[in-house]
Structure 1
Amino acid sequence: MNHDTTPASPGTPAPLSPASPRPLGHLLDSQRRVMSAAQLKAHGVTAAAVHGQCRPGGPWQRVLPGVILLHPGPATGEERLQAVLLYAGRPQEDRAQPRRTGGVPAQPLTGDVHPAPAVPYAEAMVTGLAALSLHGFVSAPPLLSLDHVDVLVPRTRRLRSTDFARLVRTTAMPTPVQRDGVPVAPVPRALADAIAQLSDASAVRRLLTEAVRAGHCEPAAVVRELTQARLLTRPHVVDAVDSLLAEGRAIAEDRLYRMVVEYGLPDPLWNVDLRLPGGPHLGGVDAYWPEHAVAVELDTRAPRQDEDALWSEYARKREHLERLGITVVHLTPRKLREALEQQAAVVRTALMAAADRDPAAYVVVLPR
Structure 2
Amino acid sequence: MTYDAPLSPRPLSHLNDASPRVLDSRALREHGVTDAEAGARCRPGGPWQMPLPGVYLLHPGPPTSTDRLHACLLYADRPARRAPARTAAYGRTTAGPAAPSATLAAGRARPSTPVRLPASDAQFTGFAALALHGFTSVPPLATLARIDVLVPRTRRLRSVGFARVVRAQAVPEPEEITGLPVAPVTRALADAVRQTEDAVAVRRMLTEAVRARHCEARAIVRELGRARLLARPQVVGAVDTLLAEGRAIAEEHLYDMVCFQRLPDPCWNVDLRLPGGPCLGSVDAYWPEQAVAVELDTRAPRHGHEEEALREERARRREALERFGITVVHLAPAALRDSPQQQAAIVRTALMAADDREPAARVAVTPR
Q: Is 1:82–2:70 an aligned residue pair? A: yes
- CA displacement at 1:212 relative to structure 2: 0.5
Distance in 2 separating the partners of 1:60 and 1:247: 49
Q: Is 1:29–2:27 an aligned residue pair? A: no
Q: 1:181 to 1:298 in 2, by over 3 A?
A: same
Q: 1:24 to 1:311 in 2, by over 3 A?
A: farther
Q: 1:80 to 1:326 in 2, by over 3 A?
A: same
Which deviates more, 181-190 or 355-364? Answer: 355-364
Distance in 2 separating the partners of 1:26 and 1:322: 76
Which deviates more, 267-276 or 278-287? Answer: 278-287
Q: Find the counterpart in structure 1 of residue 97 from structure 2.
A: none
Q: Find the counterpart in structure 2 of residue 229 from structure 1.
A: 227
Q: Secondary structure at the match of 2:134?
A: coil
Distance in 1 separating the partners of 2:287 and 2:8: 85
Distance in 2 separating the partners of 1:164 and 1:44: 28
Which deviates more, 127-136 or 335-344? Answer: 335-344
Q: Find the counterpart in structure 2 of residue 321 from structure 1.
A: 321
With normalisation by structure 2, the TM-score equals: 0.86
- CA displacement at 1:279 relative to structure 2: 4.2
Unaligned runs of 5+ residues in structure 1 are 1-18, 98-107
Q: Find the counterpart in structure 2 of residue 182 from structure 1.
A: 180
Aligned partner letter, 1:147: A
Unaligned runs of 5+ residues in structure 2 are 1-6, 91-100
- CA displacement at 1:147 relative to structure 2: 0.8
Q: Find the counterpart in structure 2 of residue 93 from structure 1.
A: 86
Q: Aligned match of 1:39 in 4, 12, 27?
A: 27
Q: Secondary structure at the match of 1:140?
A: coil
Supply the RMSD in Å over aligned alpha carbons.
2.3
- CA displacement at 1:94 relative to structure 2: 4.4
Q: Aligned match of 2:205 in 187, 204, 207?
A: 207
The structure with more helix, counted as a fraction of residues: 2
1:43-82 pair list within 5 angstroms: 43-82=31-70
Q: Is the 8 A contact 2:73 2:149 kept in 1?
A: yes
Which deviates more, 253-262 or 162-171? Answer: 253-262
1:233-252 pair list within 5 angstroms: 233-252=231-250
1:295-306 pair list within 5 angstroms: 295-305=293-303, 306=306
Q: Secondary structure at the match of 1:199?
A: coil
Aligned partner letter, 1:320: A
Question: Which contiguous aligned blocks of 4+ residues in structure 1 show a shift greater than 6 angstroms?
Answer: 113-119
- CA displacement at 1:248 relative to structure 2: 0.6
Q: Is the 8 A contact 1:297 1:329 kept in 2?
A: yes
Distance in 2 separating the partners of 1:210 and 1:296: 27
Distance in 2 separating the partners of 1:199 and 1:96: 40
Larger radius of gyration: 1
Q: Find the counterpart in structure 2 of residue 273 from structure 1.
A: 271
The aligned length equals 340
Percent same amino acid among aligned pairs?
64
